[in-house]
């Protein structure tokens, strides 16, 4: 059974206290999942989210990506993770980062802004934003460092940037500089718990321009794999790889030149996690959803509870 907490004053389990002495113990209600995953919570140091927009299951299975293959050999991958509806960009990335669906966070389309939207969020912070994983971690862990790198302008709109230590936007689908910035951020903050969101939209744009499963779309995935491989190699050379958790996530698949519908190729997407305490080379078969991502991140950083407004669950079978 999942236990929950209020986003304005989060309780933490004793494992988090042991890891991060700056935290204050406030009567955490114990859970069996916390003890089952003791290794993961003890070893979690940093989490790097690799987000590839529009990455479909057929695209992942068709493209050649030796670096992702090597990375996923140390983790768990799912090919049946379900997006939220609608299967479009902003609602799904918001759901990843808030462990909630449009029914909770209110982001129902790519044009959402804090000033103009149809459905109010069920809960907001002082500035009117729905609570994201960045807010929850920063509020609870004073030494937590967060970074957000992206190349599609609207992506930042639902996120309160006061909870981000570094933000960088690249124009024209460029992303290599963001990968370098992510590496340097990890290096500078190697002594702190760190959450890095590293996103690229170039894969999605290749699908829109040339069609999903076109040679150009497959090439876009393979180009991203090269950047991922360089990042992993650099992390290894800096001694940062072994205590890093990675998540590979996406927002939707696609067909022809678009997405947004309810077909399996649009709604079913790859999702993967790797790092200390995670099963090695495993296939996730239990039900999974984009709303689970932030809940998994919280568990990796030692929390056994999530905010009451969140709906995401932790797929327990990802742990050793």
> 33-42, pLDDT tens digit by residue?
333 344 444 5
Report the distance separating Cα 311 and Cα 103, nearest Å: 10
The total number of structural domains that make up the chain: 1
Average pLDDT over residues 169-183: 97
Report field, pTM of the whole predicted structure over 0.85: yes
> Which residues form the domain of 132?
3-318
271 CB-side CA count, 13 A: 27
Q: Which helix (H) or strand (E) holds 82?
A: strand 75-82
Report the distance separating Cα 65 and Cα 125, nearest Å: 40
Q: What is the dihedral of CA 123, 126, 128, 134, to 10 degrees?
A: -80
* Residue among 113, 152, 150 at smallest CA distance from 129: 113
Residue 22 pLDDT exceeds 50: no
Q: Which helix (H) or strand (E) holds 22?
A: none
Tell the burial category of 215 from Cβ atoms under 10 Å away from its Cβ (0-12, 13-18, 19+). Answer: exposed
Strand partners, 26: none
Residue 64 pLDDT exceeds 50: yes
Structure tokens given for 118: 């149809």
CATH number of the domain bearing residue 225: 3.40.720.10
The pLDDT score that the predictor gives to residue 205 is 98
The proportion of the chain whose per-residue pLDDT surpasses 90, expressed as a percent, equals: 86
């Amino acid at each position: 059974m999942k236990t929950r907490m209020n986003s304005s004053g989060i309780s933490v389990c004793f494992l988090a206290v042991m890891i991060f002495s700056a935290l204050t113990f406030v009567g955490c209600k114990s859970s069996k999942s916390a003890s089952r995953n003791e290794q993961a919570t003890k070893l979690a140091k940093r989490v790097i989210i690799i987000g590839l927009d529009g990455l479909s299951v057929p695209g992942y299975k068709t493209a050649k990506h030796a670096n992702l293959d090597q990375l996923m050999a140390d983790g768990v991958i799912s090919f049946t993770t379900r997006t939220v509806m609608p299967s479009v960009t902003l609602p799904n990335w918001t759901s990843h980062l808030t462990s909630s669906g449009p029914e909770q966070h209110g982001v129902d389309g790519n044009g959402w802004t804090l000033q103009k939207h149809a459905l109010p969020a069920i809960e907001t912070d002082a500035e009117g934003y729905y609570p994201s994983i960045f807010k929850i971690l920063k509020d609870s862990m004073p030494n937590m460092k967060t970074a957000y790198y992206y190349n599609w302008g609207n992506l930042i709109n639902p996120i309160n940037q006061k909870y981000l230590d570094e933000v960088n936007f690249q124009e024209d689908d460029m992303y290599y500089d963001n990968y370098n910035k992510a590496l340097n951020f990890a290096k500078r903050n190697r002594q702190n718990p760190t959450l890095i969101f590293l996103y690229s939209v170039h894969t999605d744009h290749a699908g829109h321009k040339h069609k999903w499963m076109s040679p150009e779309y497959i090439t876009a995935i393979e180009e991203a794999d090269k950047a991922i491989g360089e990042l992993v190699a650099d992390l290894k050379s800096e001694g940062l790889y072994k205590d890093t958790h990675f998540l590979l996530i996406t927002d939707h698949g696609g067909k022809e030149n678009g997405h947004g519908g309810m077909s399996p190729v649009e709604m079913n997407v790859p999702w993967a996690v790797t790092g200390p305490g995670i099963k090695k080379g495993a296939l996730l078969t239990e039900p999974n959803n984009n709303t689970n991502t932030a809940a998994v991140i919280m568990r990796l950083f030692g929390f056994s509870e999530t905010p009451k407004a969140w709906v995401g669950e932790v797929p327990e079978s990802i742990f050793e």
